[in-house]
Amino acid sequence: MSGYPAAYLGWQARDVLRGPGLVAAIISGFFAVLVWKLPGAALEAGGATLLAGYLQQVGWPLVLVATGEIVRTDRVEGYYRFYFARPVRPALFYLVRWLLGFALVLAAVASTGLAVLARTGESGLDPGLVGQLALTYLLLGGTVFFLSTAGTSGPRDWLAALLIHVFQNTVADLLGRGVDLWAALRWLHAVLPPMHRLGAGLDAADALHAGLYGAGLVAATLLLLERRPLGGGARD
């Protein structure tokens, strides 16, 4: 891959494991213990239901942990000067890092699947669940990635994405109950990343909307990294 030395993949994977990997391990470990301690009656629903419930609760925080501060920290702390005075393309460098985040989320969910398998006899890790996880990563992780790249001022990227997540789900819930909201709120709800469409009952239209939106965000992020300089000021 031109512009990204493949030999650096090991170093980036190490950084992911030592940073967000630790948090993901704690979350997965906690859930594994919970599964282990569940009473027998709670296991009757089966592994797939258990794991789906886990993803509903823990999937999006895992994505935030895996993608948070990818670009922002390097720009704020000035580490980008170390990386990009060398023959390295920022778009490729950060795309690899972002994809490693997905590998981390998959590994965390798979390890929880193992705990579920040990307890219920089925892992619950079916293609549909992995697809939903990928879609969540694409949209929510893509939002964090974009926010991380777009600016260094304002709230942290993962916090801003979390606020959007909460806003979208709250507004969707209110609209679902027939509450009449301000036009500005409805407009914001329509243009912000459709995170409310990732919940239970996800259909093909939801998946297409979320997928296209997420892919657009990732593409916009890569374009920004390719075209826009990383420095914000002389000593930034």
Residue 210 as a binder of other proteins (CB under 8 A): the answer is no
**What residue type is 222 in one-letter code?**
L
Is residue 209 classed exposed, middle or buried when 0-12, 13-18 and 19+ CB atoms within 10 A define those classes? middle
Nearer to other proteins, 147 or 230 (CB): 230
H-helix or E-strand containing 129? helix 127-136
**What residue type is 192 in one-letter code?**
L
Residue 94 as a binder of other proteins (CB under 8 A): the answer is no
Nearer to other proteins, 15 or 173 (CB): 15
Residue 224 as a binder of other proteins (CB under 8 A): the answer is no
Q: How far is the CB of 225 from other proteins (least distance, A)?
A: 11
In whole angstroms, give the CA distance from residue 118 to residue 174. 40
Residue 5 as a binder of other proteins (CB under 8 A): the answer is yes
Q: How far is the CB of 19 from other proteins (least distance, A)?
A: 9
Nearer to other proteins, 37 or 235 (CB): 235
Q: How far is the CB of 182 from other proteins (least distance, A)?
A: 25
Distance, CA of 59 to chain centre: 8
Q: Contact with other proteins (CB under 8 A): which of 86, 182, 183, 184?
A: 86
Please choose, out of 80-88, 102-110, 169-177, 184-192, the segment that lies near other proteins by the rule CB under 8 A: 80-88
Nearer to other proteins, 128 or 232 (CB): 232
E-strand stretches of the chain: none
Residue 78 as a binder of other proteins (CB under 8 A): the answer is yes
H-helix or E-strand containing 56? none
Nearer to other proteins, 9 or 114 (CB): 9
Residues with Cβ within 8 Å of residue 18, at least 6 apart in sequence: none
Angle at 186 between CA 184 and CA 191, to 5 degrees: 95
In whole angstroms, give the CA distance from residue 209 to residue 200. 15
Contact 141, 67 (CB under 8 A): yes
Q: How far is the CB of 232 from other proteins (least distance, A)?
A: 8
In whole angstroms, give the CA distance from residue 208 to residue 114. 30
Contacts of other proteins in 112-171 (CB under 8 A): 153
Q: Contact with other proteins (CB under 8 A): which of 89, 126, 130, 188?
A: 89
Chain residues in the site for other proteins (CB under 8 A): 3, 5, 7-8, 11, 18, 77-89, 153, 229-231, 233-235
